[in-house]
Amino acid sequence: MSETIWININNGDDIDCNEEDHSIMLALTDELDILAGTLGVKPLSAFYDYTDMEYNLKEDDDQEDYEEESDIAWSNDQATWFNAEEAYGSVTAILESLEANPEVISLGDYDIDDLIWELEDSQTELEKAIEAEQPFHFCIVM
């Protein structure tokens, strides 16, 4: 079972969901959180929401009750939402640090360019949320 991060923006009645694969960010959560602490910003994991994963792990009939035309099987009020500006500051600080010194974290088998792309994509989505004055979360999905 592999997991990734999708970036969701809460538009009130709907969710704007970026379903790009951000699995390197998720796999390197501990390393990125340590880096965030070193940089004095909030860790990315502080913006994680596990509602989708928890829903998918449930083994009951409630899962059949959502609208079939939606990719989201849970409602906005079931999830935890965060301020995009604060997350933007964290993502930007981490990104700038990695661009200046990629060796600042242990990447294991992952490529720095792929991690940089995921962080830049996150920045882009967070900019959209900030502009729309909407909350967001890093949705952990399976």
- Answer yes or no: are the C-beta atoms of 135 and 84 closer than 8 Å: yes
Phi, psi of 67 (to 5 degrees): -70, 130
The domain segmentation of the chain, as residue ranges, is: 4-58+73-141
pLDDT at 95 over 60: yes
Token pair belonging to 17: 């969901």
Q: Read off the pLDDT of residues 35-69 as tens digits, 9 standing for 90 and up.
A: 999 999 999 999 999 987 777 666 554 545 444 44
What residue type is 126 in one-letter code?
A: L
Mean pLDDT of 120-139: 96
Considering all CA atoms of the chain, what is the largest pairwise distance in Å, rounded to the nearest integer?
A: 50
| Cα gap 33→23, rounded to integer Å | 15
Phi, psi of 132 (to 5 degrees): -85, -5
